[in-house]
Structure 1
Amino acid sequence: MLSEKSEQFLMSLRLELLKRGKKEDEIEEVVDELRDHLHEAEQRGENVDDVTGGSVNHYIKTISKEMAFDKRIIKMVIGALFAIVAFFLIPRMVSGQLDLSMYRIIFYGLLTFVLLPLELWVLIEMLKKYGNSKKGYIAPILVALGGFLIILAGEFLLREYDGESVIVMEASTIFWLGVILSVVFILVCLYFYQWFYIGVLVYLVLPDLFANTMTDAAPGSKEYINVSTAITLILTVLALVGALAFYARYKKNS
């Protein structure tokens, strides 16, 4: 068993190398090799600073030239950005609404290309700093909560000060266009085996899809909201049950 300080260093090293776009298999090789060196050093009475120089960035400088940049990371980032844009637009379209003003487009653009990358960077830095400590477990919750509050505040401001929509189409046209884009998105995700993105889109789209097809009420009406909320609750319960079952199976096999 390594000391807590050594384990923290290994976690910080892994996160930093991932952030820099290094190949995952090479990262694991580096971490495993360093783990062996640290284990031998601690048996001799030395600590992590004696082996690594005491700094993740300093240690990376000694090995980064030997590690190739993983070009797949670029495709993953581009795919994630497209997915986020789809998550913002397609559910609105399926609900028969596409009230995209210039303010709203700018807001969604800032969320996608500024807030989310910034949240990811902050999360990685906090995990590197706090690791498996109590603060390390609280960090993702605080980061997610902060992002949620920013999005919520932005939505409230847009309701008060939103401008004219730059896209004007019939509700039925928007609905069917949203359904078609949902199918295309799912097919593309199936091709690339991106099951997580499919799950997120289904969770976001199904409530409005059911509400739109099961009722003739407008999206803001009580009947529409009741159906949409009921489907959301059902999906949430199913997701929680599935997560618990997966966790129980993981614990049993680990």
Structure 2
Amino acid sequence: MLSNEGQKFLDDTQGYLRTKGIREADIISFIEDAEVHLIEGEKRGKSVNDIFGHAPKEYANQLAKEMEVDKKGNYKLLLYFIINLLAFTMMKSVFFSEADHRLSYSLIELIGYPIMIFVGISVLIWGMRTASFKRKRTEFLIMYITGAIWFLSIFSIALLNNFYGTTFIKFTATESFILVGIVVLFAAIVNIKFGGWFTLAYLLVPIALEYVFVMIDLSSIIGMYVQQIILFIVIYMLLKIHIKLEKGKYTNKKRDSIIYR
């Protein structure tokens, strides 16, 4: 049985390597081998530091240099993020934000939000890397700060748009519903095809949360902040669950291939 310290080392290493864009098969293969070494070492009374050294992040960095970067997988992940975010924001605008259910955008939004998407991705990666190999409280604090930075970046665009934005493009209600339908359908297909059924949760859970937030009326600045933090934490938790499911799927596939040889 693996100790809590050993399990945390495996989870942190796996998460850290994933933020480096390493191929999933290589990550899981290493984690499985490392788990065996940890179990055997702990039986002999050794700690994680005795087995893998006193600098786990440096060890993970060295591993990343020796492993293959999964460019195709990274592009897929980026596609998931962009498509789901686009579908979510469009649904939010049509169903919850706009009284006339019409999509409309200013130049500030059209230019600012795409920039903020890449800022958000960079901040999330930074947060996950920084939180790795830290104590649980420190990890939570880092992810909380990451969520706050994400909120401030989004809020700054909304604030600029509120004072200086003028409508650049506006669709009719019918056009808006058609566009939302097309984007949501495309997002669902992309998620199922490349990530499996679970990845639909990245789309459905945030919109369900948005519905709850609208029902309890979190329209103040503090309410918006709380909303973004909760949304960020939920997505982070979904990502953790997804990682565990993918690990289980890969392990079962590997075991089946050995059995049928």
Question: TM-score, normalising length from structure 2?
Answer: 0.62
Pair 1:59–1:136, CA change in 2 (3 A):
closer
Aligned partner of 1:156 in structure 2 is 159
Q: Which has the larger radius of gyration?
A: 1
Give, in whole Å, the separation in 2 of the partners of 1:153 and 1:85: 19
Q: In the superposition, relative to structure 1, how do residues 72 and 150 fare at CA in structure 2: closer, same or farther (>3 Å)?
A: closer
Listed as ranges, the gaps of 5+ residues in structure 1 are 208-227, 234-239, 241-254
Map 1:112-151; keep pairs closer than 5 Å. 112-114=117-119, 116-131=120-135, 133-151=136-154
| Partner in structure 1 of residue 86 of structure 2 | 85
SS of residue matched to 1:167:
strand
Cα distance change on mapping 1:112 and 1:158 into 2, 3 Å: same
Q: 1:8–1:128: 8 Å Cα contact kept in structure 2?
A: no
Q: CA deviation at 1:12?
A: 2.8
Root mean square deviation of aligned Cα: 4.0
Does 1:111 find its partner at 2:113? no
Q: d(CA) in 2 for partners of 1:106 and 1:35? A: 46
Give the conservation status (yes or no) of the 8 Å contact 2:22–2:69: yes
Please give the secondary structure, in 2, of the residue aligned with 1:100. strand
For residues 160 and 117 of structure 2, the distance between their equivalents in structure 1, rounded to whole angstroms, comes to 18
Q: Is residue 198 of structure 2 the alignment partner of residue 196 of structure 1?
A: no
User: CA-to-partner distance for each residue in 1:57-94, whole Å, 9 max, x for gaps?
Assistant: 54346655764444333212222222212322343255
Q: Matched residues in 2 for 1:185 and 1:7: separation?
A: 34
Question: In the superposition, relative to structure 1, how do residues 127 and 20 fare at CA in structure 2: closer, same or farther (>3 Å)?
Answer: same
- Total equivalences in the alignment: 213
SS at match of 1:97: coil
Matches within 5 A, 1:32-51: 32-42=32-42, 44=44, 46-51=46-51
Shift of 1:151: 2.0
Equivalent in the alignment of 1:52: 52
Q: Give the distance between the partners of 1:201 and 1:181, measured in 2 at CA.
A: 16
TM-score, normalisation: structure 1: 0.63
Secondary structure at the aligned position of 1:178 is classed as helix
- Structure 1 distance, partners of 2:43, 2:186, is 57
- Quote the Cα distance in structure 2 between the aligned partners of 1:27 and 1:111: 29
Cα offset, 1:141, TM superposition: 3.5
Look up the equivalent residue of 1:92 and give its one-letter code.
S
Pairs within 5 Å for 1:171-182: 171-182=173-184
Shift of 1:108: 0.6
Deviation at 1:191, TM superposition (A): 4.7
Distance 2:64 2:179 in 1: 47
2:73 and 2:90 map into 1 onto residues whose CA distance is 26
Determine the C-alpha separation between the residues in 2 that align with 1:130 and 1:168: 47
- Aligned partners of 1:111, 1:76: CA distance in 2, in Å? 17
Which of residues 102, 106, 123 in structure 2 aligns to 1:101? Answer: 106
Alpha-carbon shift at residue 111 of structure 1 (Å): 1.7
Q: Which ranges of structure 2 fall in alignment gaps of 5 or more residues?
A: 219-233, 235-261
Structure 1 letter corresponding to 2:37? H
Contact kept in structure 2, 1:119 and 1:143, CA below 8 Å: yes
